């Protein structure tokens, strides 16, 4: 359908600056000097994003101390004396109270963000992405601490629609409605929980003085993403790890519903660069919702699979040619699964406020990713007993 919206994804067209909580207009802040933060807490520091973010924060001039929190910190390869490593669940008694007492900025990365869980463990998904984080929001508001929270592009739902229900070409933070599927389509449990927490954070900003920035990532990929089933996790990881797992084991790359879904992939290094800029621009980003993605990398999941095959074959040319195989979503994910077909972000606000412009194209991202998975997992998969290394292919997160 042709869009009836005049919104543009990556343009720099002038428009009236939206008002942040408290009524202050956005500033054109690229000129502001970075702020030195004495102490930052990174929740989810041992995950994919966190393991890249903590070293980037440490590399800033004048970087302060960091509390790195996760249930497992194996992926976080730093022993800097500035980092306090805390291996604990978020609901550990006294943990959030201690963190919000010690730290001035809280970066919340924690989530259950795997599509295979949305309609199979929806109660866990809702608790992890909403219930368990409400106390953090309240503590940050009551203690005057700044909260940078990672939400998700999934809050936009099935498609980009404006307030009148007209199709938009890009998903815009301030103009696009949030259109989720019906309740019995439990895939939307994740998006609904994330959206409700966004509204709780926004309300605390409007009515309780919370300093916050909400980030909506669009399909960030890179080294150390997710897990390999049977090695360091169980179940179905997101699409990148699912496809690479299939390549490493000689299995088919599974295309859910033929892989026609489109996603806009962003390099993790550029995503982390944007997060660091958010940390260093508190006035610019106060009360803002920011899309972080790369609309130039809008491709189908099938195209991603082909590109990964090419990158893998360049490293392992002597193996059997990998194959792709379509599977119905209902068979792969089960009853209650639903999906969006196209997600293209408008990043005009992030470009303006952060002086940030993602440039890495998908083919340039993949060799480093393939090398990382080969280095970390190929020896481990080879050591598994016969038959234990076989897994399943792709997803559409």
C-beta atoms surrounding 180 within 10 Å: 20
Q: How far is it, in rounded angstroms, from Cα 59 to Cα 80?
A: 11
397 pLDDT higher than 70:
no
pLDDT tier, 396 (very low <50, low <70, confident <90, very high otherwise): very low
44 pLDDT higher than 80:
yes
- Structure-block tokens of residue 107: 């970066």
Please state the domain count of the chain: 1
- Asked whether the beta carbons of 261 and 341 are under 8 A apart, the reply is yes
Task: Give pLDDT, residue 194.
Answer: 98
pLDDT tier, 234 (very low <50, low <70, confident <90, very high otherwise): confident
Q: How far is it, in rounded angstroms, from Cα 264 to Cα 342?
A: 9
Condensed to tens digits (0 to 9), the pLDDT of residues 339-392 reads: 999 999 999 999 999 999 999 999 999 999 999 999 999 999 999 886 444 333
> Residues 54, 55, 60, 62: what is their CA dihedral angle, to the nearest 10 degrees?
80
DSSP class of 21: T
Residues of 133-145 as b/e, b for ≥16 C-beta within 10 angstroms?
A: beebbbbbbeeeb
In a domain, 269, yes or no: yes
On the CB side of 276, CA atoms within 13 Å amount to 21
19 pLDDT higher than 60:
no
Q: How far is it, in rounded angstroms, from Cα 263 to Cα 301?
A: 7
Task: Give pLDDT, residue 62.
Answer: 87
- Asked whether the beta carbons of 111 and 260 are under 8 A apart, the reply is no
Query: In what helix (H) or strand (E) does residue 277 lie, and over which residues does it extend?
Result: helix 268-279
Instruction: Please identify every residue annotated as catalytic.
Output: 190
Average pLDDT over residues 241-261: 96
In a domain, 66, yes or no: yes
Annotate 301-357 with DSSP letters as a single string.
HHHHHHHHHHHHHHH-TTSPPP-EEEE-HHHHH-TT----S---B--HHHHHHH---
Query: Average pLDDT over the chain, rounded to whole?
Result: 89
- Structure-block tokens of residue 21: 């909580």
Q: Answer positive or negative: Cα dihedral of 235, 241, 244, 248.
A: negative
In a domain, 12, yes or no: no
Residues of 106-129 as b/e, b for ≥16 C-beta within 10 angstroms?
A: bbbbbbbbbbbbbbbbbeebbebb
Condensed to tens digits (0 to 9), the pLDDT of residues 49-68 reads: 999 999 999 999 989 999 99
196 pLDDT higher than 90:
yes
Condensed to tens digits (0 to 9), the pLDDT of residues 103-160 reads: 999 999 999 888 899 999 999 999 999 999 999 999 999 999 999 999 999 999 999 9
CA 265 to chain centroid = 11
Q: How far is it, in rounded angstroms, from Cα 278 to Cα 285?
A: 6
Please give the share of the chain, as a percent, with pLDDT higher than 70. Answer: 88
312 pLDDT higher than 60:
yes
Average pLDDT over residues 9-27: 40
In a domain, 313, yes or no: no
Name which residue leads in pLDDT, 178 or 31: 178
In a domain, 53, yes or no: yes
Q: How far is it, in rounded angstroms, from Cα 111 to Cα 128?
A: 6
- Measured in degrees and rounded to the nearest 5, phi and psi for residue 301 equal -65, -35
In a domain, 43, yes or no: yes
- Asked whether the beta carbons of 193 and 129 are under 8 A apart, the reply is yes
Which of 10-19, 36-45, 166-175 is most confident? 166-175
Condensed to tens digits (0 to 9), the pLDDT of residues 270-310 reads: 999 999 999 999 999 999 999 999 999 999 999 999 999 99
Q: How far is it, in rounded angstroms, from Cα 195 to Cα 178?
A: 8
Q: What is the CATH number of the domain that holds 176?
A: 3.40.50.720
- How far lies 122's CA from each of 114, 128, 158, 199, 301, in Å? 11, 10, 18, 20, 24
- How far lies 238's CA from each of 144, 244, 245, 298, 377, in Å? 36, 10, 11, 17, 16
Task: Give pLDDT, residue 21.
Answer: 46
* Residue-range definition of the domain harbouring residue 39: 29-302+330-383
pLDDT tier, 213 (very low <50, low <70, confident <90, very high otherwise): very high
In a domain, 388, yes or no: no
In a domain, 150, yes or no: yes
Q: How far is it, in rounded angstroms, from Cα 167 to Cα 160?
A: 6
Task: Give pLDDT, residue 386.
Answer: 61
Cβ burial of 59 (10 Å; 0-12, 13-18, 19+) is: exposed
Condensed to tens digits (0 to 9), the pLDDT of residues 63-80 reads: 999 999 999 999 999 999
């Amino acid at each position: 359908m042709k869009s009836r919206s005049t919104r543009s994804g990556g343009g720099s067209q002038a428009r009236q600056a939206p008002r942040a909580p408290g009524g202050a207009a956005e500033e054109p802040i690229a000129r502001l000097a970075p702020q030195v933060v004495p102490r930052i807490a990174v929740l989810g520091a041992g995950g994919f994003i966190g393991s890249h973010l903590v070293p980037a924060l440490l590399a800033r001039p004048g970087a302060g101390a960091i509390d790195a929190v996760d249930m497992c910190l194996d992926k976080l390869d730093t022993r800097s004396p500035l980092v306090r490593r805390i291996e604990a669940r978020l609901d550990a008694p006294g943990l959030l109270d201690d963190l919000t007492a010690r730290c001035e900025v809280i970066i919340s990365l924690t989530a259950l963000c795997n599509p295979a869980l949305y309609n199979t463990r929806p109660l866990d998904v809702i608790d992890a992405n909403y219930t368990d984080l409400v106390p953090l929001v309240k503590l940050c508001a009551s203690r005057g601490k700044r909260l940078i929270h990672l939400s998700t592009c999934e809050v936009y739902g099935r498609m980009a629609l404006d307030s009148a229900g007209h199709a938009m070409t890009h998903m815009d933070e301030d103009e696009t409605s949030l259109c989720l599927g019906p309740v019995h389509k439990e895939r939307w449990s994740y998006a609904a929980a994330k959206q409700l927490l966004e509204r709780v954070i926004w309300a605390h900003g409007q009515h309780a003085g919370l300093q916050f920035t909400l980030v909506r990532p669009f399909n960030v990929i890179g080294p150390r993403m997710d897990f390999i089933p049977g090695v360091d996790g169980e179940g179905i990881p997101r699409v990148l790890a699912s496809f690479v797992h299939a390549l490493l084991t000689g299995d088919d790359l599974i295309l859910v519903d033929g892989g026609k879904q489109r996603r806009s992939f962003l390099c993790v290094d550029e995503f982390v660069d944007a997060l660091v800029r958010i940390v260093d621009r508190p006035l610019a980003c106060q009360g803002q919702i920011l899309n972080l993605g790369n609309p130039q990398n809008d491709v189908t999941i099938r195209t991603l699979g082909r590109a990964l095959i090419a990158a893998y074959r360049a490293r392992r040319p002597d193996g059997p040619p990998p194959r792709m195989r379509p599977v119905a979503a209902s068979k792969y994910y089960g009853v209650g699964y639903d999906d969006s077909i196209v997600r293209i972000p408008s990043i005009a606000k992030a470009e303006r406020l952060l002086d940030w412009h993602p440039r890495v194209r998908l083919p340039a991202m993949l060799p480093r990713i393939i090398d990382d998975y080969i280095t970390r997992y190929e020896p481990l998969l080879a050591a598994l007993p016969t038959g234990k290394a076989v897994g399943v292919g792709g997803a559409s997160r």
